[in-house]
Amino acid sequence: MYRKIGKAALAIVLVFALTVGVMIFTSVLQPVQATAEEKTDEKGNLSVSGSFTVKVSPDIAYITIGINTFAVDPKDAQKENREKMDQVFEKLVALGIDSKDIQTMNYSITPRYEYKNIEEKDEYGNLVRRGESVLTGYNVDNTIRVNVRDLQIVGDVIDVTVDEGINKANSIAFGISDAVRDAKYLEALKGAAEAAKAKAETLAEVYGIQLDIPYSVVEGSSYIPSPIYRNLDYAAWDKGIAAANESVSTPIAAGEMEISANVTVVYKY
């Protein structure tokens, strides 16, 4: 009996040993898969910025002028204002101003009051003083803006409008027309790009970097000036015109304006 049990146990041990051996043999023959990290070439960045400013002379003037009239009857104030403004329009057109460059900015009719001290007796005969706002008439205000595209006649525009009744001191501004602004900005942008390129080439030479075409080009902030308004003193000009030779117009200086552009360029090496 013991011999039978021993033979059975021996058979089990042999089967187990054979199974383990086959598994080990199979695992030895199984190909081994390994993952290798791919090496990438690290690239550096060279980032440079360039800026450029272009000076430009204004080519357009914006003159805001007005006529203020007063009368007890608002219709009379309107009539006087209209007649004076019609004369101003005629003079402006005669100077070569296109009617589309004359624009009404404000037209208003407002009552004018004056504060008066009034003395009267009350029901008991006592003298009573009181203040009261009394309507004295109406103001009519008509304000226009004139776009003067020939700066040589700016002084003439001011002179003839004063002669025809302009009595409201407003403002004058010098600006740049859209066509000139766009052309000058592109000029500034090109200068900024060339400045950035020159910086990159200098740095590349110093550090021994081989530059290729730019990896990115970004248009940065820009500065395009808005018209700068200056107050007009018609009272002073009116006195000057009366004292001066009629053939000499009021001198006006437009000055210069600046347009700037910025560019950022990135190279990879």
Residue 6 located in a structural domain: no
What pLDDT does residue 132 have?
Answer: 87
217 lies in which domain range?
41-59+177-226+256-269
pLDDT in tens, 237-252: 555 444 444 545 667 7
CA distances from 92 to 69, 101, 242 (A): 20, 10, 20
Residue 215 located in a structural domain: yes
Q: Which CATH number belongs to the domain containing residue 208 in this structure? A: 3.30.110.170
What pLDDT does residue 58 have?
Answer: 94
Residue pointed to by tokens 């009350």? 122
Residue 24 located in a structural domain: no
Indicate whether 14 pLDDT > 70: no
Helix (H) or strand (E) holding 249: none
> Is residue 6 very low, low, confident or very high in pLDDT (cuts 50, 70, 90)?
low
C-alpha angle 205-207-209 in degrees, rounded to nearest 5: 70
Indicate whether 158 pLDDT > 70: yes
Indicate whether 262 pLDDT > 50: yes
Residue 105 located in a structural domain: no
Residue 195 located in a structural domain: yes
Looking at the DSSP assignment, which residues form a beta bridge with residue 121? 127
Residue 36 located in a structural domain: no
Residue 239 located in a structural domain: no
pLDDT in tens, 199-221: 999 999 999 999 999 999 999 98
- Average predicted confidence (pLDDT) for the chain: 83
What pLDDT does residue 87 have?
Answer: 95
Cα–Cα distance measured from residue 227 to residue 59, given in angstroms and rounded to the nearest whole number: 11
More confidently predicted of 1 and 62: 62
Rounded mean pLDDT, 62-73: 96
Domain count, the chain: 1
Residue 209 located in a structural domain: yes
More confidently predicted of 16 and 183: 183
> Is residue 126 very low, low, confident or very high in pLDDT (cuts 50, 70, 90)?
confident
Residue pointed to by tokens 């018609």? 234
